[in-house]
Amino acid sequence: MRALLLLLLVSTGNTEKELPGPVQEPRRLSCVRCCGPSEQPSPIISSRYTRRSSAPAYSLPKVQPTIDITILKGDKGEMGERGYPGAVGKEGERGLRGFSGRKGQKGQPGPQGHSCKQLYAAFSVGRRKPLHSSDYFQHLTFDTEFVNLYKHFNMFSGKFFCYVAGIYYFSLNVHTWNFKETYLHLMKNEKEVGILYAQPSDRSIMQSQSLMLDLQEGEEVWVRMFKRERENAIYSEESDVYIIFNGHLIKPAVE
C-alpha cells in the first residue's frame, strides 16, 4: 500500500513540472555601436539620443532673427556751434620747387635813370576794392597811387623795390569786414616780418600795423593775405579808400 502511494506521489510531481506555462519571448536589445579599435565605448542612452536628434522628425528649426534698422536709427540732429580755432602750428619745411608757370604779361616801364643816384624813397598806395582771401596765401595789390617817388613801388606787382639801401618805415592800414577774420602778413622778400590781425566781430573797425626794416638794394616789401579755417576779408569802397600801404626811407646806408 505504501509503495502504491509513493508511486502516485512521484507521478503527480513529474506531471506538475511538465505542465506548460505562459510562453515568454526572449528580450531583444537594440543594436548599438559600441566602439572601434581606437574608440571608447559610448553609453546606450547617448547613442539613442544621437539617433533621435539626427532624424528629420526630431531636428530643431533654425531661428534667424531680423532687425529693422529704420526703427533703431534716430532722426538727424542739428549741427552744433563752431568751435574755437586751434593754435597756429609750426611752420613746415619748404616743399619742392614746382613747375614753371606761364609767361606773364609785360610789366610797366621801370623808373627813369639818373646820372646821380637819388638818396630818397617814399610811396603811399591804396585799394578801393574789397578782397576775400580765396587761397591759402593771396597777394594784395593796389589800384590807387597817392605818392610814388621815382616809381620805386610797382603798381602792377604790388611790391616795393629797394633801390636805395637803408632804414625804412612801413605802415599798413585796413578796414575789417563784419563777422569775418582779418589776417595779413607784411612780407620782406619771401618771409613774413609783421602780422596784422583782427578777430571776427559784429562791428567793422580800422586796423593798422607798422614797423621799420633794414633793407639792402634789390630786396622787396609787399603784403599778402593769410587764410585759415575762417573767412578772411578786408573791406573798401569805390568812393573811399580804406586800405592804404605806406613806406619811406628814414636813413640811407651811404650818405
pLDDT per residue, tens digit, the chain (255 aa), is 555 555 555 555 554 444 455 555 555 555 555 555 555 555 554 555 455 555 555 566 677 777 666 666 677 888 888 888 878 778 788 888 888 888 888 777 765 555 556 789 999 999 999 888 777 788 899 999 999 999 999 999 999 999 999 999 999 999 888 888 888 999 999 999 999 988 877 788 888 999 999 999 999 999 998 877 777 888 888 888 999 999 999 999 875
Q: Residue 59 contacts by C-beta under 8 Å, 6 or more apart in sequence?
A: 53
- Tally: H helices and E strands in the chain: 3, 13
Query: What long-range pairs does 201-206 form, CB within 8 A, spacing at least 24?
Result: 201/176, 202/178, 203/178, 204/175, 204/176, 204/177, 204/178, 204/235, 205/175, 205/176, 206/173, 206/174, 206/175, 206/176, 206/242
Indicate the burial class of 231 (C-beta count within 10 angstroms; 0-12, 13-18, 19 or more). Answer: middle
For the chain, how long is the longest CA-to-CA vector?
187
Global model pTM greater than 0.85:
no
